[in-house]
Chains A and B, each alone.
Chain A
Amino acid sequence: MHNKLTAAFALSLLAAPAYAQAPIHIGVPIGLSGANSVVAPSVVQAAELAVAEINAKGGVMGRPLALDVADDGSGAAGAQRAFDSLVFQKKVDVLISMETSAARNAGLPIVTRGKTPFIYTSSYEGHSCNRYMYVNAWVPEQQEAPVIDFFLKDKSAKTFFLIGSDYAFGRGMLSYAKQYIEAHGGKVVGDEYQPMDAGDWTAIISKVRAANPDALILSTAGGVPNVTLTKQYRAAGITALVGNLGVDEGTAKTMGQDATGIYISGSYYTSVDSPANKTFLDAMRAKFGSALLTPNDLSVPQYEAIYLYKAAVERAGGTAADGVVKALPEVSFDGPRGRIQMNTQRHAPLTMYLGQVEADGSVKILQTAKDVDPGEQCPNLK
């Protein structure tokens, strides 16, 4: 009996690097159901790859990483439960996650109470500040300027019409757009909002037709509103330039001909031509094979954030929250999106791409802007 146990133990030693110490727990509260359920599985895959790679190379300071994934239902109520259980029951060392703005806002008080470092990996409407939170994805200042500048300068657009979904992200994105357009000599001839689940855009499309703008800027929730709006303005024969702030590469692909010609902007596309991105994509294909979900602008930051956390723990010499929070802006990681360092008021300068959707659904990168500054996000946070 004793021999058998020893043999089993020895086998397990051979199978994986040996860890004398307890694992470091990474909590991932994420919308596996609800609005984010389409993209969330790809984010979990990216996290799994990062953890597997790090553990195969000896972990973090001799300790392996372990993922604790909790469904937050994409909303506030679910997020409270998920954060509560991760922070107070599982006592995770860090939270690293892509979430809706509603879920993030509901989770932040729990983060503060639990004094748990939190890396938020989703692009969002900006200006969310917490002592324990860092963000490595884009904010409006970084994402919208390339599209609007392109319309104003390269396409000589003068009048803009803004359409969005009525929630924090939609409103936040478009109020920034309005301010930016007006500050740069453009004119906003209309802005309209619909509830998040709305599918009938009849009246708004008629208003667009009456206003006859040079360009449309759309910022709706993903899924139904995005799809219905695109289909319906196409059918109405509207030919203005279209910048869609709420569409990702995957959705553009499935939309087919309706998406052709629209302009999108982001910090990651699979077509980014860099050795780091190639290595990342190859590793994803090797790990997940036919089950691979296309990596995207929400899943890649998740991958990079785990490496940033690793670097911060090593710099701080441990997982204690205060040390990690202090070290996070000081470390950087060279990932698929280039060098990422969250050193600008808790946010990260990012290389941004302006793309146009081609007839076959692929995204042609038209412009690249290096290290776009996130601007004044949290000036009052020390």
Chain B
Amino acid sequence: MSLLLDIVTTAAILYVVALGLLIVFGVMGIISFAHGAMLTVGGYAALLVTWAGWNPWVSLPAAAVAGLLAGAAMERTVLRPLYRRPLDAILATWGLGIVIGQVITLAFGRQVQFAQSPLSGAAVILGATYSQYRLLLVGVAVLLAGAIALVLHGTRLGLVTRAVIANENLAQSLGVNSARVRFASFSLGSALASLAGALVVPLSSVDPNMGVPWLVGAFMLVLLSGSSLVSMAAAAVVLGAAQVLVSTYLNAVLGGMTIAVLAAVILRVRPTGFARA
């Protein structure tokens, strides 16, 4: 029973962490190497909320706002001039990630810090004692995916965004301001990344490199799922299950490599991954 819960919650965490990256990749066609740093920004937002003595739940909106602002600023100043040069843009996000990491180190120091967790302790579910917070994350993942699906399919912004994802040149020729779509989606992706950073704080430590371990899993997930929310859910469940099963039945050291290896194998056999499965 707890194995099943491990798989579901691991998949949910992967999903939440990769969501921001998926939005950016879907619209802009670039993998943002600043994603890990944006997770870290969210972690430190949670830390500031703890220092201020506010309710730990406040850290979630605080992180999202911090990510939104940072993402908007990065898009305006650095990424926008590089849209015609996607490789340079990817390199620029890498640089931005380093800059953010160093600024955080200068401001907060190198050491591990502690932010308060909004929910702690265990609950009994289906006869197993399990971490309440991990269970909560499953709900959060579903909620976030639902909200984004609603925006994409139920609003004007979503419509033009989907148009840009499908064919940017065609959308432009029809009068869509694709620069604005890119701006909105990079900001939103950054906000989601920081929100995810605050969400993983109760499982993780807060330090200038806290985003790095999550980055690989998120990359792989996005590579496997293209730009679809549904295929990413499938990828999250498959990769999460593989990691948990290998860690449980073989050993944890191998479990840590499972996601990267399995993703490489899947892409070799089926280059589209889970997209349009």
Contact = CB atoms under 8 A, between A and B. Distances in A.
A338 to B, nearest CB: 30
22 contacts: A192-B251, A192-B252, A193-B253, A195-B253, A198-B256, A199-B205, A200-B203, A200-B256, A202-B9, A202-B244, A203-B243, A203-B247, A203-B248, A204-B252, A206-B2, A209-B129, A224-B112, A234-B120, A235-B117, A235-B132, A236-B122, A251-B112
Interface of B: 2-3, 6, 9-10, 110-114, 117, 120-122, 129-134, 202-205, 207, 209-210, 213, 243-244, 247-248, 251-253, 255-256
A258 B248 CA distance: 25
A193 B248 CA distance: 12
B202 A235 contact: yes
A235 B120 contact: yes
A108 interface: no
A377 to B, nearest CB: 29
B2 A195 contact: no
A194 B255 CA distance: 9
Given A223-B207, A231-B202, A207 B122 contact: no
B123 to A, nearest CB: 8
Nearest to A254: B114
A37 B110 contact: yes
Interface string A220-257: 00011001100110111100000000000001001110
B114 A255 contact: yes
A68 interface: no
A234 B129 CA distance: 12
A236 B203 CA distance: 11
> 4 nearest interchain CB pairs?
A237-B122, A203-B247, A235-B131, A227-B205
A283 interface: no
Contacts of A224: 112, 205, 207, 209-210
A236 B133 CA distance: 9
Contacts of A237: 121-122, 129-131
Contacts of A255: 114
B205 A194 contact: no
Contacts of B244: 202-203
A198 B213 contact: yes
B213 A197 contact: yes
Contacts of A235: 117, 120-122, 131-134, 202-203
Contacts of B112: 38, 223-224, 227, 251, 254
Nearest to B119: A235
Given A202-B10, A202-B244, 20 more contacts: A192-B252, A193-B252, A194-B256, A195-B256, A199-B213, A202-B247, A203-B248, A203-B252, A204-B252, A206-B2, A209-B2, A209-B129, A224-B112, A224-B205, A227-B112, A231-B117, A235-B131, A236-B122, A236-B129, A255-B114
A280 B121 CA distance: 41
A241 to B, nearest CB: 17
A355 B196 CA distance: 37
B251 A193 contact: yes
Contact of B131 (A192, A195, A236, A258): A236
A285 B3 CA distance: 52
B213 A194 contact: no
Interface in A175-213: 192-195, 197-204, 206-207, 209-210
